[in-house]
Structure 1
């Protein structure tokens, strides 16, 4: 199996030299960005948690028991009850397909993006869907307007990625995210636009426009070996606003 440049952007995601701590209170946010003031978050819908192991690029976090039960699609009115939530919004035109995977696949290898998606859903033009993640989950998502996610010659998802690390045990509960065109560029396939912003940290975003014409705080093949690109978040609730088909 080919080695891909995933570790540079997923492990570690946390860069303590560029930390952000400008939390916005629940009273000033919309419903989905609110969170319990007592710090008690629901785990409804999740399966059991797996024990972490390894370190660095080979770190294995929570992949759910049964596998993939650490990632669930939730109703919008439930979003404020979970600790780690991503809100996906489709572009104004066209329908998108989105798949989400754990970094570690069901066999315990770092191959979650080789056709081992845990969740998939369609986004009609302008539609929004919400996904909750259990603590210590690491992985990514990809999207396409075609019937299936483009793949490289080895079978790996090869469109623009969003990458996540929620409540990492290895990194003392910190979280992180980024947008990456690495896989699409290596495979010489289309780079689609995507933006991820922290809704609780004003101005903290990672995005790439179609064809990688504009790249902001995100990964391309030229930065594949660098660490710390993207959003780095202090321990606490996370609300990510994801724009699929983003154009600046």
Structure 2
């Protein structure tokens, strides 16, 4: 039985790690680093930079992250198959390192929020899993805009771009919605009347981009900014908050 440390790393800035995260990283014998293809080579580079900043000299094992088959009609079945492939890729990467008993995997944001790394760890088997919390994208977004997440005394819904595209603004949802994993700017399909948006990409990083304002005017600007930034970097990580009603100015 090996120890697997799932370490939340925020958006890739070495300063985003908690003291607990740094301690666990330094205790590891090996760091697993996924590669997502040449166009996203910077992501593996950020993980290496975090290792070098906090635990230089620790061995690494890199593996090619399988791609999800987005064309499968059954979304959940496709995700389950993808997770099984990732679990197999972990095990294959660890085969040459039987001496490594404590494995660290650096997870964007926090492993608890729209991240399946703990599920994949269960599929892989043979691990005692320790989760080290990290900064989430909504935390970094609200910090970047210097706003609270919720309106006074009001609830918040955290959802995905896919669900917002398929369902629109749910009828019973609160007036504040945090949207993650939206690669298509699906807010373009919403009625922008009386809705404001707070958007950010590369949150907490030197490349950080922030925009906010009424959805009707800020939305088109965000679409253009996102496309340009993605073309320049080859990848993008972004999220946004939508708020409607009188408390939209936080």
Instruction: Output the TM-score relative to the length of structure 2.
Output: 0.35
Q: Which has the larger radius of gyration?
A: 2
TM-score for the superposition, normalised by structure 1? 0.36
